[in-house]
Amino acid sequence: MKQDSSSSHEDDRSKDIELEDEEEDSGNMLKERETDFSPEIWKTQSNVTEWRKASGISFSKSGKWSMLLLCIGLITSILVVVLHKRNANGDNNSQAGGELHDERHVGTVDYILSLPYLPTPISKPYTDSLRSLCEATIWQPGLYLNCTNVLNLPGKPPGTGNPQGTFNVKNAMQTCVRWAIDAGMGFIIPRIAIRSKTNLEYFDEWADFSFLFDEDNLKQTMSEECPQLKIFDYKHKIDKKIVAERRSFTYYANGWYRYHVNALLNQSGEDLGINSIVIWENEPLFSWEFYKDGNNVHQTLYNAIKFNPSILAVGKTVRSLLPSSYIGIHIRAEKDAEGFLGILNYNTQVQGFLKVYQKQYSSIKTIYVATGDQSIDERFRDEMSNLDAKIVTKWDLASSNNQLKDQLNQLRFDQLGIVDYEVLRSSTSFFGMSLSSYTFGIGYERGNGNLTECKCHITGEIPSIFNCCF
């Protein structure tokens, strides 16, 4: 995790710094250095002196010259290394070769460019509101962002998207909007890669944004809070397309993403005054440090990406068939999760639940279980047969309601997760496992961004990417 390294050197450049020395008259020394040094070296020497004073180390006059030369040499060495690595990245990118599968039916890729190293972030000041942030942003007309899954995954069928579940996609969309605002770009509402009907590990179909989310809510929120952000459909015609290749979990904060976009434009040599340009991103997940934004900015963006209201309505119907008090548990043990569960496997999750339930919640006699595999539901029900409680699922509650049953049968895997989400966020208490962004997302909402207030129990240590980037 990168720490917040917001630079103060611009402030330092605006201040008049007096040099002091225990051995010489400060006035004579200032006059001498004004004669001998250029403005840039003057500031460097000032910083060296300030560092010397802060550290309590005293130097002779010759020692100060040596320290100045040492600093200049160190800075030069760093610049050489950075430039060398940037050039190496460019060479690797040009030699990569191979066929790249872009998203279906969207046209050709004009450039695929690697990103340079992160600079020190600098941003204009703004108060803790999205409106203030957008007013402080310098917008770049003709530049757009589309965060779709454009590059094929190794070992997966050509044309597939990244394997991201319901709350991962929610985070990715929230991150993309934040990126667009940071760089002063327009936002292209992307299509979403969805799971195969036959293999949960494959995402081999494409659907519109509304497959999972409320597009109208996003547009309405942005029109009220950030009217400078222009939003278009993915079919919107753009002259040039630049695909940005990146590693997973590249953390950004104020000013960082804008720097990357400008670097991409410089590499491409394109002129925004001549062409409209869209930057396509394929890996936005957990790539903005929202904890560095103000709480109001974060919450406004989080609430802008709401789930599809028609799917939430199905969840509300399921919720209406439950008693006023019930326990909700999410068990993450489907086949696609086997690779990362480790010690937080099915047994660990269930044992953790039983321990807390029997100690604190045994008076609540209804337990709603949410999984993506009905065989796991049945296993849990069988193993809980000794409890003095009723185990129910959405399918159980819909068994005597044909309309509800038909609605559930029409929904795909991740859409069904939204139904469970609506039920679980209203439960008396909630249980889940820490490696699941789905569990964390529900806990986050239940506590209004504070897990200590969520009335939930989460098994295992929560990954730092959830805390900083959700």
For residue 460, give the nearest of 436, 444, 438 by alpha carbon: 436
Rg, C-alpha atoms of the chain: 27
The span from the CA of 166 to the CA of 447, in Å, is: 19
Question: Residue 123's pLDDT band (boundaries 50, 70, 90)?
Answer: low
The highest-confidence range among 21-35, 73-87, 211-225, by mean pLDDT, is: 211-225
Of 313, 348, 351, 364, which is closest to residue 436 (Cα–Cα)?
Answer: 348
Question: 255 — alpha (psi -120 to 50), left (phi > 0) or beta?
Answer: left
pLDDT of 330 strictly over 70:
yes
CATH code given to domain 309-469: 3.40.50.11350
Q: Could you tell me which residue, 417 or 151, shows the higher pLDDT?
A: 417
Between CA 421 and CA 331 the distance in angstroms is 13
Global model pTM greater than 0.85: no
**Under a CB-based contact definition with an 8 Å cutoff, are residues 298 and 339 in contact?**
no
pLDDT at 80: 46
- Mean pLDDT in residue range 338-343: 73
Residues 177 and 85: their CA atoms lie apart, in Å, by 30
pLDDT above 60 (res 25): no
* Range among 108-112, 201-205, 245-249 rated most confident: 201-205
pLDDT band at 334 (very low <50, low <70, confident <90, very high): confident
CATH 3.40.50.11350 boundaries in the chain: 309-469
Provide the strand spans (E) within 190-275. 192-194, 205-207, 231-233, 240-245
Sequence letter at residue 28: N
pLDDT digits (tens, 9 = 90+) for 59-98: 344 455 555 555 655 565 555 444 444 444 444 433 333 3
Mean pLDDT, the chain, as a whole number? 78
